[in-house]
Structure formats: C-alpha cells, structure tokens
Amino acid sequence: MSELRKDPVMGRWVIISERRSQRPDQFADAFPTVCPLKQPDCPFCAGNEERVPPPIAEILSPEGWSCRALPAASPILRQESRFEEHRLGMFHIAAGVGAHEIIVEGGRHGRSLADLPLQQVADVVLLWERRLTELGKDDRFKHLMLFKNHGPTAGEGTYRHPHSQIIALPVTPARVKDKLDGAKEYFSQTGRCVFCAILERESREKERILWENDHCVVLTPYASRFPFELWIVPKTHRADFPGTPEPVLRGLAEALKRTLARLSRLLHDPPYNFILHSAPLRRPREGFPDYWDTLDRDYHWHLELIPRLTRVAGFEWGTGFYINPVSPEGATRALQETADG
C-alpha cells in the first residue's frame, strides 16, 4: 500500500511507494539504457493479449484493435479505498488511493507515436478523451494526469512498446495549482484567459509558432524552460480536455504526429515527455463555495512537450529556475526548416 505525505514546509504531497523499492545496488539497472526489444516477452504486443488482464476499453481496427487501455501492472495508486487525510502532529499522511492506466498505442513493438498512421494517432487521442471522461465520474479523484515517457532516459521503463499513461489523483498537485493560480490571477487582472491572450499575441508575432491547423497551434513558449519545449494549444477556449469535440481531437492528433516527426528528424529520436494539462475535476470545497467560479473562463487545456536534452542539476533543483541553452525562437526556426513527413 502506498502512502501520500505532505511536506510540512512546502505543502507539497509526495507518494511513498515501498512496493517499488529495490536494494540500493540494483538502482543502476532499474532503467536499462538498452531496452529489450524482443517482441515475444512484451505484454503489449498484438498476439500476447493473454499476458495481460482484459482491457478497460479499446478502439477496434480492421486488423483487431487499434489502441487499448489496460490497468497498470505496478500501479502507483490503486482504486481501493476512500482518500482520508490523517495528522501525525505536524505531519499529514493519507492512503494512496487513485487509478493508474496504460494506453497501449497499437500492437506493434518499437514503433513510436510519430510513426503510426494518422488514423491510429487519432484513435489514441479519442481513447484518452474517453478514459478521462470516465475516470472523471469517480468523485474520489481531484485531478487526472495524462502523460507519456518516450525513451529510457525519459523514464519509459522496461518495455519500449509505445504507450501513454493516465494517473487519477486524490489531491490537486502543486504544479497544477501553480498553473491554475497563474491563470486565475491573469484573468482577475484582465478579464481574459491567459492562454487565449498568448495565442493572440503569438499569432501576430509568428516567431514562436511552429505550425497550426484549423483546430490547434503548436508553439514554443516565450519562457521555455527546456530546449525545444513545445505547447500544443486548441484555438477554441476550453478548460477541460474531456468533452472536447471530435474535430479538435483529430486536429490535436495531426499536430502531435507532425510535431513528433519533426522533433525525431531534427534531434535523432530524442527522449521526451509530454503531459496533457486539463482543468482539475471540480469538487465542492467546504467553506469555498465560489472556488471554481471562473475556472471555465480562466483555464485552457493544452499539451506540454519536453524533449529531454539537458540535465537538471543542483541549480535547477534548488531554484526551480531553469537554464535553457536554446531560445524558443531558435528552436522554432530549426523545427520549421525540418520536414515533417
């Protein structure tokens, strides 16, 4: 059973998950640099379906299935009980309730999301939306995280079969709160959504816009923390990813496939992480009846993509102050000059 603990200085929650523990001398092998690519061992490959539990959901294709949601084999959080916070003097502790699902992106091993046919990328995005909508109905959850780790140094893990992950959390994470606070602050000062304002400004300037279609814009954020950091933002204002109309989801799929293909070509299939930032689930907050009042107007879902090209060292850990050796404008130009298919 994992535990949630709250840092008494920062107010930040941490998961203590001893099940995932190893002897210290095994850490070096925990994330092998060369991952096994042998298909017969992979539980996500088409033909190996008997190695995993039945899927939670799937999208079918003429060849069988296009993509599917599976329960995580070693879940970080489990759907066992209710979230209950206890105090041990100055410390807070809570049971690690939540959910953890794997979205398997096709049955073929060693193919990345960028290499899949557009229809299959769209199937993955449609399945994300379907699972987030479903998990959002469980009122024990406060936030849903969808993310992908690509490549061993980005934390992909043992099986290099393309997949993304969904984690449902019983608390709102610190960085999500920071984003929400920032967006709310901008809204209270200007009456506008900060993401809409960014899109408007960037569309005028153009120097940080990489690509766009009818539904989504791909841009390098003005204050990029990392080289080639990218955001994909829907053009129409919307706080929640769940409920996004299908044409926008297909627009996201196209933007994602093209962006990943360019990154892969320019940077030689770099490791990367992406995170879908959707609004948190609105649960009534005792004593704060107006807590979520402006959220629908002040927040705007988006996908954040971080190639893992630089190392985070003492300075960044100590300050939250990142040193980025490539300007977002330079990254945009380099990616614009790269073919995407």
Of residues 224 through 263, those in contact with a copy of itself by CB under 8 A are 224-225, 227-228
CB of 157 to a copy of itself, least distance (A): 9
186's enclosing H/E stretch is helix 174-190
| Contact between 220 and a copy of itself per CB under 8 A | no
Rounded to a whole number, what is the distance in angstroms from the first to the last CA of the chain? Answer: 46
Q: 228 exposed, middle or buried (CB, 10 Å; 0-12, 13-18, 19+)?
A: buried
Q: Using CB under 8 A, which of 35, 72, 196, 197 touches a copy of itself?
A: 197
Q: How far is the CB of 176 from a copy of itself (least distance, A)?
A: 6
Query: Minimum CB separation from a copy of itself for residue 139, in Å?
Result: 20
* 198 interacts with a copy of itself by CB under 8 A: yes
Binding-site member from 40, 50, 62, 90 for a copy of itself (CB under 8 A): 90
Whole-angstrom Cα distance, residue 132 to residue 335?
31
Give the span between the Cα atoms of 94 and 86, in whole angstroms.
6
| Pairwise CA distance, residues 86 & 93, whole Å | 5
Q: Interface residues for a copy of itself in 65-84 (CB under 8 A)?
A: 76
Q: Which helix (H) or strand (E) holds 306?
A: strand 302-307
For β-strands 143-150 and 163-169, DSSP reports them as antiparallel
Out of 43, 55, 71, 155, point to the residue binding a copy of itself (CB under 8 A). Answer: 155
Q: Closest approach of Cβ 24 to a copy of itself, in Å?
A: 5
Binding mask 292-321 for a copy of itself (x = CB under 8 A): ------------x-x--xxxxxxx-xxxxx
Shortest gap between Cβ of 137 and a copy of itself (angstroms)?
Answer: 21
Residues 135-154 that bind a copy of itself (CB under 8 A): 143, 145, 147-149, 153-154
Specify the DSSP class assigned to residue 96: -
Yes or no: say if 137 and 123 are a contact pair by the CB < 8 Å rule: no
User: Which one-letter amino acid corresponds to residue 108?
Assistant: R
Shortest Å distance, C-beta 47 to a copy of itself? 28
